[in-house]
Amino acid sequence: MSRLAAGYLGFTTACIAAIVRADESAQVQPHYYTLSISLAPALCQLHPENRQLRICQEGYSIIVQGFWPESQDGRRVRNCSRENPELSPVQERVLEKVMPDDPLRAREWQRHGSCTGMTAQEYFRALMSRANRLRLPSQINKEGRDQVMDRGQLVSDIMKLNTGLPEKGIYLRCNLQEGTPLLTELRVCYKPNGEFTECSSSFKPNCPTTFTVRAVP
């Protein structure tokens, strides 16, 4: 077999495998959803490649990173489409408040939203509904100085602000910056009907007892 033919066969096989994986993902009914909230100041500091995005250039504090369909066995449903979402100008303007960058919205739709069985309009409407109703303590959205926070206290404060949110329905994610743990993300889990629910036991928080929250520039 020629090198060109072998390469073509390999490419074709990879494409077929990708289509099969997408079909399998599309057939999984989401058991619940995870709303991922990112803290933009930490995200921009830790990932220099994002610094040209609006979230970094315009001083955003909190953004929605994703709204992920999860299967009952804890497997995340993903990568069901390569198409960009079709949204009305009005919906795009509303989304810009929590997802300001077009590339991030397109990636979120392709990787996760298209696997939900919803249209792009329905998916982002559901995302906005959860994001708008979620209440977060003001201390993670402050300008001025960085602050050290206690993990247990922050989780407790968030639960008090959101009636019905179970302790296992929220978990925090941190990353190290020169030895300092930075809070980068909060994940909250929802039933398909929008009620809070517990997250899968396979998902673990990784923040230490205390961590730093970067201030809004």
Residue 121, both tokens:
């309009």
Looking at this protein, which amino acid is placed at residue 114? S
pLDDT score recorded for residue 189: 95
- The better pLDDT of the pair 88, 23 is held by 88
Cα torsion 64, 189, 201, 172 to 10°: value is: 40
State the DSSP code for 145.
S
The mean pLDDT of 21-34, rounded to a whole number, is 62
d(CA 95, CA 98): 6
By the 10 Å C-beta count (0-12 exposed, 13-18 middle, 19+ buried), 148 is classed as: exposed
Q: Which tens digits make up the pLDDT trace of 88-140?
A: 889 888 888 888 888 888 999 999 988 888 999 999 999 999 999 999 998 78
What percentage of the chain reaches a pLDDT higher than 70?
83
In this prediction, residue 154 has a pLDDT band, given cuts at 50, 70 and 90, of very high
Q: Which tens digits make up the pLDDT trace of 176-210?
A: 888 889 999 999 999 999 999 998 877 777 899 99
Predicted structure pTM score: 0.80
By the 10 Å C-beta count (0-12 exposed, 13-18 middle, 19+ buried), 90 is classed as: exposed
**pLDDT of 14 above 70:** no
Query: 119: how many CB neighbours lie within 10 A of its CB?
Result: 14
Looking at this protein, which amino acid is placed at residue 146? D
Per DSSP, which regions of the chain are E strands? 32-39, 62-70, 147-150, 170-177, 180-190, 210-213
The mean pLDDT of 156-185, rounded to a whole number, is 92
- The better pLDDT of the pair 34, 12 is held by 34
**pLDDT of 22 above 90:** no
Residue 47, both tokens:
């990932």
pLDDT score recorded for residue 25: 42
pLDDT score recorded for residue 10: 36
